[in-house]
Structure 1
């Protein structure tokens, strides 16, 4: 096999180092002070560090560098330490949230939904982007040249394609492509492809660019960032499918904090990069490097209703296309899905003002 390009080798090395760092951070967090119990928030509002968890969109090192300037500004605004947990997988971040090792987090879709409905967190704000759209799109990427480069061939013979995809909790890396493209064509992403590589959007795009995979899930925001960081590799790629719009990610906070503290944090986020001053210019530069964000808008738990609907649709579609021992078992599963969705919708609406 030909040697991989130097840039790809460096990316793999960074990913390995980032994985080590991510798990070191999780291990360190296990010994940290846990979040205060419900009802004790006001008493501790000025004590202890706020632990901020970051959804892994690129490498752990890259994420830490991107978020550090904004979190430094947040420290000054709220007058207390803010520490960062940057990991390399959705699972690692979810485990940290389950262990009460995260007080605030940048999350999208399914992870934000689970944090709010299962882990005593609430939505404070939602990100916005410069294109003004209320969301982004999932993508499928393939090489521009080669025997496997178009959607028709992919759908007709998926077992001949090597897939690079996101984790099962990733909205654009798994949930939306599965729901909107593959399951309607009777293809289960986990079982129908010749091989499968699971990683971040950067890793999946590099895999296709360097012929380690034939098709990759991605999204419009991360692929634009990939074009800036890896222009030569991006030039080898083409988009063969786009999804419907997916709502942007949210900032969530543990409900153990009192309303006054929540309002202070929300105000910081909403006003960030809005000023017409050198400081505002500096903050806009921070957001530009942070996945090209434009800012934040106030949001509540009801902003997760689209994510709940996506999860519901995927669960229902999977139940309809799976094999069951009998029809009664399928109907029982469908009823549980309906009940869970109704409970989630009620909980999310109850969390709105």
Structure 2
């Protein structure tokens, strides 16, 4: 009886072990950060409408999804501020940015620059513009500036380099002017809608840039023929690609390698990829870059802030000089951080 009883615990243990083995085999393993189900969240700087931007990037992102075996979701918003908020909330893994938006992402939102846009015409950047109706009352920049309080202006958001910062830094601030007070009315929108507003007579002048104006000409050729450019900025560096520092390292490298190599191969595959790139205004591909390429944007911001301080109204010369010293110190610190990063 004792021998028979002693076998019972061993039998129960064998059965328990078999049940646990079956349970381990049946339960799914927990997904890792690099699991194929992990989505890649791609942030798209709005060019035109959010829907237009998604459609421009769709073929490239479809190739990315196929190559890496991860679903790709787009974070396509209607404003620069919306995209910045999504990046700050860690809802974006990789994004196309420019100017102040890129600086904010690198210094305060755990992103790193790894590539810069390469234009299909070989230029190293874009040019900001002011556009008017060709048959309108504004014939040139002097006509515009000669009549404060008369014209209606459509510009980009404060985070837009070509839509706001460049015209402010090179046209208005050097003359002691501020576009928000110089014009009779100011409206804020994307470059495509602002160009349409000029054509439709809703505003007298709008800011823009050469890639968006080229896109406008392709999309609305009849309307574009009614526009003319009265001012062009100095060359502004192209936008950059930034990537989230907290991504799983293996996936992060695969993603960077894909973007840097896209459109570079020969043969039919390379031709198809270059055609996909061409859907995005004036884009030929991506070249390696670091956060140091953002120095030009920082310098432009510094120039604007310094001019605004010099031409602003102050209670005393001491107050103006204090502001100038603050602008100088903030710029030095920003450059230091970019170099350290």
TM tier relative to shorter chain: 0.7 to 0.9
Within a 5 Å distance, the mapping from 1:104-123 to structure 2 comes to 104-123=94-113
C-alpha separation between the residues in 1 aligned to 2:305 and 2:138? 30
Shift of 1:66: 1.1
**Residue-by-residue CA offset, 1:244-293 (whole Å, 9 max, x unaligned):** 00000001011112554433222211211111222111111111111131
Task: Tell me the secondary structure at the aligned position of residue 44 of structure 1.
Answer: coil
> How far apart, CA to CA, are the structure 2 residues paired with 1:95 and 1:247?
23
Tell me the equivalent position of 1:319.
309
TM-score, length basis structure 1? 0.84
- 8 Å Cα contact 1:53-1:86 kept in structure 2: yes
Q: 2:130 aligns with which of 140, 151, 162?
A: 140
The residue number in structure 2 matching 1:276 is: 266
Give SS of 1:160's match.
coil
CA distance in 2, matches of 1:101, 1:284: 29
Report the equivalent of 1:28: none
How many residue pairs match? The answer is 309
Q: TM-score, normalising length from structure 2?
A: 0.87
Match for 2:118 among 128, 132, 138? 128
Q: Measure how far apart 1:349 and its partner are.
A: 1.6
The change in CA–CA distance for 1:261 and 1:312 in structure 2 (over 3 A counts) is: farther
Unaligned runs of 5+ in 2: 1-31
Task: Tell me, yes or no, if structure 1 residue 349 matches structure 2 residue 323.
Answer: no
Kept in 1, the 8 Å contact 2:156–2:188? The answer is: yes
Report matched runs for 1:6-155 at 5 Å.
44-46=33-35, 48-155=38-145
Partner of 2:328: 338
Determine helix, strand or coil for the equivalent of 2:233: strand
Query: 1:19 corresponds to which residue?
Result: none
Partner of 1:10: none
CA shift for structure 1 position 183: 1.1
- Indicate the SS of the match to 1:110: helix
Runs of 4 or more off by more than 6 Å in structure 1? none
Q: Distance in 2 between matches of 1:53 and 1:172?
A: 19
Partner of 1:196: 186
Whole-Å Cα distance in 2 between the matches of residues 288 and 161 of structure 1?
36
CA RMSD of aligned residues (A): 1.5
Higher mean displacement: 222-231 or 73-82: 73-82
Q: 3-state SS of the aligned residue for 1:66?
A: helix
Q: Aligned to 1:165, which of 155, 158, 169?
A: 155
What is the alpha-carbon distance in structure 2 between the residues aligned to residue 266 and residue 158 of structure 1? Answer: 48
1:281-310: per-residue Cα shift (whole Å, max 9, x none)? 111111111113100001111111111111
Structure 1: any 5+ residue segments left out of the alignment? Answer: 1-42
Q: Which has the larger radius of gyration?
A: 2
